[in-house]
Amino acid sequence: MLDNLKQEVKKELDKLPQDVVGLLSLNNLLRQLIHRMVINQACQSITLTNPILDQAMARFCAEHELANQEQINRYLDHKGLSQSDLMHQLSIPLKMQRLSLEHFSSKAESRFLQRKEDLDQFSYSLIRVDHPDLAHELYLQIQAGEADFTALATAPSQGRERASHGLVGPASLSRAHPLLQQKLRTATPGVLLEPFQVEQWWVVTRLE
């Protein structure tokens, strides 16, 4: 499918005068044009019913506060568009949505499962210090309710998360250290984890 699209777009571009292509390239518009041409070619086989197009036009008029045909005509003149140009532009997102459902919906679940670990969002509190005794002391203070995690994450914590009072996320764990990822993926929210070493740091953390 992609190869056919490339060939069709190339044929259309070859019809343009070279000075026009050069002008588009000079103004950084050529890539944008090719992008739109590929989308138009991909959606060529998709047809939409009149009620769907009418709904799209009604939404557009509501968003742009166009109450009647006279206001629509003024808008079109201002933008240098015809009515058919506007309908074409409104139809493209709808056609893309239908094209995506027809060609890719069957693959969506497997793709999601492949990337699930990157897509999952975690929030966790983190304290990093460079000495195991200090890490265990902080752990015991928090566990006993003698100190607040947020206060200890500001000082004496030594990691970059001090700026956010120890709170990290919501974010993917893909950039976190593998050991930290492993601990947090099996952690119970709200339960403080015993200190463990991650490279040169000793870490106290809690899945939020």
Model confidence at 139: pLDDT above 70? yes
Mean pLDDT (the chain, rounded): 86
Mean pLDDT of 135-142: 91
Give, for 170, the enclosing helix (H) or strand (E).
strand 167-171
3-state secondary structure of 193: coil
The Cα diameter of the chain in Å comes to 77
Does the pLDDT of residue 2 top 70, yes or no?
Answer: no
Cα–Cα dist 196/101, whole Å: 46
pTM > 0.95: yes or no: no
Domain 120-207 has CATH 3.40.50.10800: no
Name the band, by pLDDT with cuts 50, 70 and 90, for residue 1: low
In terms of average pLDDT, the best of 9-18, 75-84, 141-150, 174-183 is 75-84
Give me the pLDDT at residue 94, please.
92
Q: What does the block give as tokens for 193?
A: 């984890």
The structural domains of the chain, with segments of one domain joined by +, span 2-113, 120-207
Distance in angstroms (rounded) separating the CA atoms of residues 161 and 128? 9
Which of 177, 131, 129, 118 shows the shortest CA–CA distance to 153?
A: 129
Q: Is the pLDDT of residue 152 over 80?
A: yes
Cβ-proximal residues to 131 (8 Å cutoff; 6+ apart), any chain:
202
Enclosing H/E stretch for 202? strand 201-207
Judged against a pLDDT cut of 90, whether residue 86 lies above it is answered with yes
Other CB atoms within 10 Å distance of the CB of residue 155: 8
